[in-house]
Structure 1
Amino acid sequence: MATYLYRLGRYCFRRRRAVLAVWIAVLIAVCGAAGAFAGKTSDEFKVPGTEAQATLDRIKDTFPAQGHGSAQVVFAAPAGGGIAAPDAAKAVGASVERIAHVPGVAAVPDPYATGAVSPDGRVAIALVSFDHKLAEVTDQQREAVRAAAEPARAAGLDVAFGGDAYNRMAKVEGGSESIGVVVAGAVLVITLGTLVAAGLPLLTALAGVGVAMAGLLALTGSFEIITTAPVLALMVGLAVGIDYALFILFRHRRHLDEGLEPEEAAARATATAGSAVVFAGLTVVVALAGLAVAGVPFLTVMGLAASGAVVVAVLVAITLLPAVLGFVGRGIDRLPLWKRAPAANGGTTMGERWARFVVRRPLPVLLLGLTGLGVLAAPAASLDLGLPGGGSQAVGTDARKAYDLVSDSFGPGFNAPLVVVVDAHDAPNPEQAVQTVAGRLQTLEGVRTLLPPTVDRASGTALVPVIPTTGPDHADTRALVNEIRDQRAALRSATGASVAVTGTTAANIDVSTKLDQALPPFVAVIAGIALVLLALAFRSILVPLKAVLGFLLSIAASLGAVVAVYQWGWLDGFIDVPKVGPVVSFVPILLIGVLFGLAMDYELFLVSGMKEQHVHGKAPREAVVGGVKGGARVVTAAALIMVSVFGAFVLGDDPIVQPIGFALAVGVLVDAFVVRMALVPAAMALFGRAAWWFPRSLGKVVPKVDMEGEELMARLAEEKREAKEPAGV
């Protein structure tokens, strides 16, 4: 691999104008495609095959409104009983009538006629049904519904808008991520010492992110892409784009310090550090694409979107960066902010001092690190999963205001309605069957009330709305859904009717259950991939096993922190958590996929340095010190950059993006500074020469990956020797 990348790096350096022109053309082309073909992203977390989704698909022709978008318009009077006052009732009625005339609104029943008035007479709910799917509800229609409620606002009533149509998620707005870029820039300046050197990783990373994001947006017109996918692609693409460029740039400057010409330095950096970048990028892509194992389409789309961003980041790092280095030449150290000692001087660094401390006390460091990670991971045993809704939105938003008004005035269960579908077409007496089922449902623990059923006599099917006593993310609501499903056999025996549960709440519960069940096989697949790739990279047995165990420790610690903050409410006030409750159901599996690849970055960079020292004859512990000394600074900078990029997303208030950013920031922090910089050197020191043992039988069949550039250096030395021979003859 190193030989091919060496040639590629040299070619891009020499043909820098052509390479730059190609990337500019690609950027312009994908931006044009985004402008021409971009469509809308989806806010629906649909999972085909779950009972709720299958039931909804089955009844969509009989009850088409069940598959359409809906919203709540919540009217609240300043005092109890005020919503029924003549002036308030008139204003609500006028608003409802105007909403009914908004294009795309199919129905909006009068809340007084349907009894949708709270017991204290303060709040009324108008349920708005659109005549098309939620994904097709436009922002213009949402704003038109808002504007139509003006009579109620003019009468002094509070009006809030909630429901599926207003629970908007995960928008890329540029605020928090720009903070991450600024912090990353500061880390680069401190690490590299000059504005020119610090600017190169930012420049190339932003170029890569621009290409990836524009390409993804261009696909939204042809494919259903969940709204969270572009945000994840931006988050991951920006972080790895900066880090990959930093790895290569760091090696390039080292070669310059050794006296190489810029072209040769860039070619060798692309060959060696570039090999680690390609391998690390491959692991990230494989892990993210592996999200398809869960069998959840929107999660697969998120994984593929982020994978695309990583592929672009790798291509930029091994082509555009060498080209830019060709333009910069020896001017990479221009605009210095502090005097940098060349790496060739070989002074004692902080990384070397830390490594020597660890290898002198490997067992205490290992035990202390494992204890700390165990404490941090302990809350993960209480992990509870769910999907966000109106109650997860930030306090002060319209959707959260509507959710809280309904919950406080009607009860939390009115935000978690279940739809029980009774198919009685085979029953001896369909009407009696529906009544019997409804009567049985009313007796179940956890049911607050039943709303009047909707019956289609032609098909013998009825929809029975069930209002739980608890909210959508409460364990008792999940228990109620399971209880209704457990009653199906008995109900069919008693009435001849089949029963199924659907609706948004049931669908979210099914998605969370499916994702929870997908975690063990996904972890097994990821662990297997890691073992194979690392065995291929290092030709070792113990190194891959150690790496996988370290990765699992990082995952457990990160999930423990997420549970403590987002489920238990620790650090409330320090981190502005929209609502304490179940963790977003796809955060664990997404964390595993993303963090696996990122963790392998640091593993590859550090351990490849240790192997390089070992290959050159260093004693095992000295090889560990040498590897840490060579990689500590760049790994530290890379980790801080990733933490700053991911952590910036915690500053937002999106209920999905915020915990994802927090989980990744904690995961990278723990993996880089505890696992890779402490536990890995300690374990390698304890392993000694056994760390590099590899069975001969496997060595014959496993292809050799020249990540450290041994074969390349040997070939270059041979070419140099051959070039001198004619002169000496």
Structure 2
Amino acid sequence: MAGLLYRLGRFAARRHWTVIIAWVVIIALAGTGYALFKGTPSSSITIPGTATQKVTDELAKKFPSASGGSGSIVFETTDGKAFTASEKTEVSDFLTSIKGKHQVKGVTDPFTTQAELDKQKAQVTTGRTQIANAKKQLAAGQAQLDAAQKQLDAGQKQLDAAKAAGTPASALASQQATIDAGTAQLKAQQAKIDSSTKTLKTQETKLELGADLLDQSKNIRFVSKDGSTAVGSVSFTKSLYEVDADVKSSIVSTAAKGLDGVHVYVTDDIAQAVPSILGPGEVIGLVVALIVLLIMLGTIIGAGLPLLAAIVGIGVSVLGATAFSGLVQFNSVTTVLGVMLGLAVGIDYSLFILNRHRRQLKQGMELQESIGLANGTSGNAVLFAGSTVIIALLALNITGIPFLGLMGTVGAVAVAVSILVAISFTPAMLSIVGMRILRRKEREAIGNTASTRIPNAPMKTWRAIVTLIVGVAVLGTIALPAMQMRFGLPDGSSEATDSSQYKAFETLASKFGEGQNGPLLVVADLPKKATGTDLLQQEVTIGAKISSQKNVSAVAPIGASKDGTVVAYQVIPTGGPSSVSTENLVHDLRALSPISTDDGKATIGVAGNASANIDVSEKLADVLPLYLVVVVGLSLIILIIVFRSLLVPLTATAGFVLSLLAAFGGLTAIYQFGWLSFIFGVHDPAPILSFLPIIEVGVLFGLAMDYQLFLVSGMREAFAHGASAKVAVQRGLHAGRNVVAAAAIIMISVFSGFIFSDSSTIRPIGFGLGFGVLVDAFVVRMLLIPAVMHLLGRSAWWFPKWLDRILPDVDVEGAKLERTHPVDGSHHQSHAAPVPVDAEPAVHHEGPPSHRAAQ
């Protein structure tokens, strides 16, 4: 591969305009594909097969009127006083205007709904009074009938006595007829009273059942008690993530205009939109990266070239990937990881090749030969390092979570394109730039390498021991908060304090209770079809069971399906959508199933946005250990092949786990506990973004292997060329630390730029990756790994002979290529571990067997 990359570099140097024009054409094609075939990204995160999704699918089939997404719009008077009649009219007209929009099924007017709810409560009181009065009337009528019946019975008794005394029947016939007629009349009146009593009893049963339902929903309000705030709702024909973005945007833009004397806030369900990829924070990150490059390389041309390469890579990868968004449903954050990685690795990979090329030019190598050799050596290392990142990202597909797999795939595409840009576009640009890649003083000193200093003494053993103990202790301490990490998805409380979503969230919490921000949808499948009073009785029975659960504020029946087999409820929790109490409530409600009713057992399910978020978070938490095992196992295999060692891969992997746990600890401390919130703008601490840990594992694994490769491969080469194992550690660190430090700072700068994004989803991703790179590069790779390698000594490079024979020999640094392309005709040594002119020839017996064979 090194030879192929060498030839590619030479070709790009000779035919630089051809290569550059080819990339311009590729960008144009990607842009055309994007313009023609792009789709609308979704702002929701869903996972097929979850309990919530199953309930949602069932509703769509059996109870379509209760299916579809919904969101709330909060209205608050600007003066804090109760709504006036004109303001109520404004709100009603506003909601009516939304009702006519595409994909909007209906709206709920808060004032009409609250008035109806109050009327129903009043009707219960009135109904009870009417029923009580009716009972009294029926009781009085029954008493009159009973008295009349006694008179008739007495008259009949007298007639019977007269008949017994011998009075002729003809003489008593008229009297008997009168009594018989009276008896018949009383029977008819008794039948009417019995019928009225039965009807009244049915009415009373319905009234009391209705009263029970009202009592269960007594804490639900649509207008606050002080009359200053109202909540309207918008229901859609589709689930929220399927509703067109322009429909939501239209509602948000209409609400942003406000009303006369009324603030209008749209909740996160509707207002959540596609986040902006490039903002002030990201621009600052790029500026910092440019400054680092300028300091390291000393020329504006040199500093600008890696940035240009990264921009080309992002242009191709992001435009090309999103061109498929019309065929595959993209999430609003799908491309974020691609942009982050494309910027970071695009700069770093180009920098690695450029830095090698500069060093060779200063040694006197001819321009095109230097470009080819830099591409064959550092480019080969870039290809391998990038491959580890790609593999880790593609492995996200094994989680079985579509949006996460797609996110990893887009990120992998971005890294792959960055590699291709680095090994083709960068050599072409280096050819155009020519010797101007060096400062004037550097050009004047070409060929003068007398000042090159190479470490010949190992570090102090006590220093290695102290470094290892202190480093592990510090990282362990930072990782402690991760033991209390909770997973969740953003809600309105995570948004910017001046945003509509945040104001809606806070207003609902203060005026109606925190649970109003995360209502649950509970669906019950009845044991058999039910109608009338029987259906109402089952609704009450199930509702009462739900109401009896801890952390339930209110239960409101939504209705029943047309066939009478499904009933649905809106359940308001006592806590917010991200609270522990709401999470516990979802589990408790699901544990209730089945519920015993008069007709048998009813099974229940839970859905709603809060429930969906909980399901997604738990699913992601469940697959995290599997993904971590796969990535760690992959790490060991790859490093064993590269370094021809068993202990080096183990220490590298242990270091990766340490940096990962420290990154988790930092995330938990800042975004969940709220530490240093004034710096990072965390105004409302919340659970950690549920898919962030998996992304952290994949990305940090790849980047950690990058730094491990560029530092430890230098140690390996130095050891193979005759240095003692402990001196080789110092030589490898000396050779690679500057470029790795610069690369890490650039990576941190790019990631950190996203910490201050407008999106609550992107901010923790930026921090997690930036902090993870900081810890891994500067603590693990530059301090702990050298200390461990020093303490292990020669045993670090022990490798079983039988395993060495069966594994392929991966010449990552292109050492074989270097030996065939010396700078000045002398034996050319690897840049990773240059050997002094007067050094002894390589002591082959100390090097790994594969390298000995290569000699």
Shorter-chain TM-score bucket reads over 0.9
Q: Counterpart of 1:373? A: 475
Q: Does 1:243 align with 2:370?
A: no
Tell me whether 1:315 sits opposite 2:417 in the alignment: no
The answer to whether structure 1 residue 100 and structure 2 residue 99 are counterparts is: yes
Q: 1:137-156 alignment to 2 at 5 Å?
A: 137-138=243-244, 140-142=246-248, 144-146=250-252, 153-154=259-260, 156=261
Indicate whether 1:2 and 2:2 are aligned.
yes
Deviations 1:228-247 (A, max 9, x none): 11111101110000001111
The farther-off stretch of 272-281 and 453-462 is 453-462
Structure with max Cα Rg = 2
- TM-aligned CA deviation for residue 653 of structure 1: 3.0
Tell me which moved more, 655-664 or 495-504: 495-504
Shift of 1:503: 0.9
Structure 2 CA distance for aligned equivalents of residues 330 and 123 of structure 1: 69
The DSSP-based 3-state class of the residue aligned with 1:225 is coil
Which residue does 2:298 correspond to in 1?
193
Partner of 1:726: none
User: Structure 2 regions of 5+ residues with no counterpart?
Assistant: 115-221, 827-855
Q: Paired residue for 1:125?
A: 231
Q: How many residues are treated as equivalent by the alignment?
A: 716
Structure 1 SS opposite 2:74: strand
SS in 2 for 1:74: strand
Equivalent in the alignment of 1:417: 519
Measured after TM superposition, the shift of residue 579 of structure 1 is 2.3
Residue from 485, 488, 509 that aligns with 1:407 = 509
In the alignment, which residue of structure 1 is the partner of 2:142?
none
Shift of 1:185: 0.6
- Report what 2:108 is aligned to: 109
Aligned residues of 1:193 and 1:338 also touching (Cα < 8 A): no
Question: 1 CA distance for matches of 2:284 and 2:486?
Answer: 31
With the length of structure 1 as denominator, give the TM-score of the two structures: 0.93
The 1:315–1:592 alpha-carbon spacing in structure 2 relative to 1, beyond 3 Å, is: same
Match of 2:586 among 481, 503, 518: 481
Note the alpha carbon deviations across 1:478-508, whole angstroms, 9 max, x for none.
0001011111135489842111111111110
The alpha carbon displacement at 1:8 in A equals 2.0
Q: CA deviation at 1:80?
A: 5.7
SS in 2 for 1:304: helix
Does the 8 Å contact 1:468/1:477 carry over to 2?
yes
Q: 2:223 is matched by which residue type in structure 1?
A: V
Cα 1:225–1:344 shift into 2, 3 Å: farther
- What amino acid does structure 2 have at the position aligned with 1:304? T
Q: Secondary structure at the match of 1:451?
A: strand
Q: Relative to 1, partners in 2 of residues 1:505 and 1:492: Cα closer, same or farther, differing over 3 Å? A: farther
* Residues 91 and 151 in structure 1, CA contact (< 8 A), matched pair in contact too: no
Which residue of structure 1 lines up, in the alignment, with residue 144 of structure 2?
A: none
Shift of 1:76: 1.0
- 1:668 is aligned with what amino acid? V
SS at match of 2:810: coil
Instruction: Select 2:465's aligned residue among 363, 366, 376.
Output: 363
> Paired residue for 2:51?
51
- Paired residues of 1:254 and 1:344 also in contact (CA < 8 A): no
- Paired position in structure 2 for 1:333: 438
Q: What is the SS of the residue equivalent to 1:56?
A: helix
Q: 1:685 to 1:148 in 2, by over 3 A?
A: closer
Specify whether residues 11 and 459 from structure 1 end up closer, same or farther in structure 2 by C-alpha distance, changes over 3 A only: farther
Equivalent position amino acid for 1:209 in 2: I
SS state at 2:323 partner = helix
Residue 232 (1) aligns with residue 337 (2): yes
Asked if the contact 1:425–1:459 (Cα under 8 Å) also holds between the matched residues in 2, the reply is no
Partner of 1:269: 374
SS in 1 for 2:594: helix
Q: Is 1:324 matched up with 2:429?
A: yes
Q: 1:422, 1:497 within 8 Å by CA — same for their partners in 2?
A: yes
Is structure 2 residue 326 aligned with structure 1 residue 221? yes
2:625 matched residue in structure 1? 520
Does structure 2 retain, via aligned residues, the 8 Å contact 1:152–1:159? yes
Residue 519 (structure 1) shift: 1.2
**C-alpha offsets along residues 182-208 of structure 1, whole Å, 9 cap, x if unaligned?**
111100000111112112111111111
Equivalent in the alignment of 2:850:
none
What is the alpha-carbon distance in structure 1 between the residues aligned to residue 798 and residue 470 of structure 2?
27
Tell me the equivalent position of 1:383.
Answer: 485
Relative to structure 1, the CA distance from residue 339 to residue 165 in structure 2 (aligned partners, 3 Å threshold; closer, same or farther) is farther
Moved more, 525-534 or 420-429: 420-429
Structure 2: how far apart are the matches of 1:237 and 1:359? 40
Q: Distance in 2 between matches of 1:364 and 1:75?
A: 61
Choose which of 240, 265, 268 in structure 2 pairs with 1:134.
Answer: 240
Cross-structure match for 2:89: 90
Distance 1:65 1:269 in 2: 66
Shift of 1:68: 3.2
The Cα of 1:139 is off from its aligned counterpart by 5.1
CA contact (8 A) 1:96 1:149 kept: no
Contact 1:358 1:682 in 2 (8 A): no
Give the structure 2 partner of residue 675 of structure 1: 780
CA contact (8 A) 1:99 1:149 kept: no
2:650 maps to 1:545: yes
| Aligned residue in 1 for 2:155 | none
Q: Is the 8 A contact 1:288 1:594 kept in 2?
A: yes
Contact in 2 for aligned 1:160/1:402 (Cα 8 Å): yes
| Residues 152-203 of structure 1: per-residue CA shift (max 9 Å, x gap) | 711x111111141212253324433222111111000001111121121111
Q: Kindly state the Cα deviation for residue 625 of structure 1 after the two structures are TM-superposed.
A: 0.9
CA contact (8 A) 1:142 1:165 kept: yes
Amino acid at match of 1:524: V
Deviations 1:13-58 (A, max 9, x none): 2222221221111111111111111121111101011100121122
- Give the conservation status (yes or no) of the 8 Å contact 1:650–1:657: yes
Between 201-210 and 332-341, report the one with greater CA deviation. Answer: 332-341
Q: In structure 2, the residue corresponding to 1:361 is in which secondary structure?
A: helix
Give me the whole-angstrom Cα distance separating, in 2, the residues matched to 1:133 and 1:488: 25
Paired position in structure 2 for 1:532:
637
- Does the C-alpha gap of structure 1 residues 69 and 52 become closer, same or farther in structure 2, counting only changes over 3 Å? closer
Question: Per the alignment, do residues 494 and 515 of structure 1 end up closer, same or farther by CA in structure 2, a change over 3 Å counting?
Answer: farther
Equivalent residues in 2 for 1:472-621, closer than 5 Å: 472-491=577-596, 495-621=600-726
**Following TM superposition, by how much is the alpha carbon of 1:146 offset from its aligned partner in structure 2, in angstroms?**
4.9
Amino acid at match of 1:213: V
Q: Is this contact kept in 1: 2:245–2:273, CA < 8 A? A: no
Q: Distance in 2 between matches of 1:294 and 1:149?
A: 39
Bigger Cα displacement from structure 2, 462-471 vs 325-334: 325-334
CA distance in 1 between counterparts of 2:558 and 2:507 reads 25
Distance apart, 1:102 and its partner CA: 3.2
Give the aligned residue type for 2:50.
T
Distance 1:389-1:707 versus aligned 2 partners, 3 A rule? same
Contact 2:309 2:425 in 1 (8 A): yes
User: Which residue pairs with 1:687 in the alignment?
Assistant: 792
Counterpart of 1:727 in structure 2 is none
TM-score (norm. length: structure 2): 0.80
Compared CA separation, residues 648 and 150, structure 1 to 2 (3 A): closer
Opposite residue 406 of structure 2, the aligned amino acid is V
CA distance in 2, matches of 1:397, 1:246: 40
Give 1:724's aligned residue: none
Task: Out of 73-82 and 298-307, give the one that drifted further.
Answer: 73-82
> Cα distance 1:159–1:93, how it changes in 2: closer, same or farther (>3 A)?
same
Q: Which amino acid aligns with 2:5?
A: L
SS across alignment from 2:553 = strand
Q: Secondary structure at the match of 2:799?
A: coil
Match of 1:259 in 2: 364
TM-aligned CA distance change 1:139 to 1:303, over 3 Å? closer
- 1:34 and 2:34 equivalent? yes
SS in structure 2 of the partner of residue 82 of structure 1:
coil
1:449 aligns with 2:448: no
Q: 8 Å contact 1:47–1:511 — kept in the other structure?
A: yes
Q: Secondary structure at the match of 1:540?
A: coil
- Contact 1:454/1:464, CA 8 A, preserved across alignment: yes
In 2, Cα distance between the equivalents of 1:614 and 1:290? Answer: 34
Q: Which amino acid aligns with 1:82?
A: A
**C-alpha separation in 1, matches of 2:355 and 2:64:** 60
Deviation per residue, 1:513-551 (Å, 9 max, x gap) = 111111111110000000011111111101110110000
Worse-superposed segment, 100-109 or 374-383: 100-109
How far apart, in 2, do the equivalents of 1:243 and 1:585 lie? 29
Return the alpha-carbon distance in structure 2 between the equivalents of residues 204 and 471 of structure 1. Answer: 46
Counterpart AA for 1:131: T
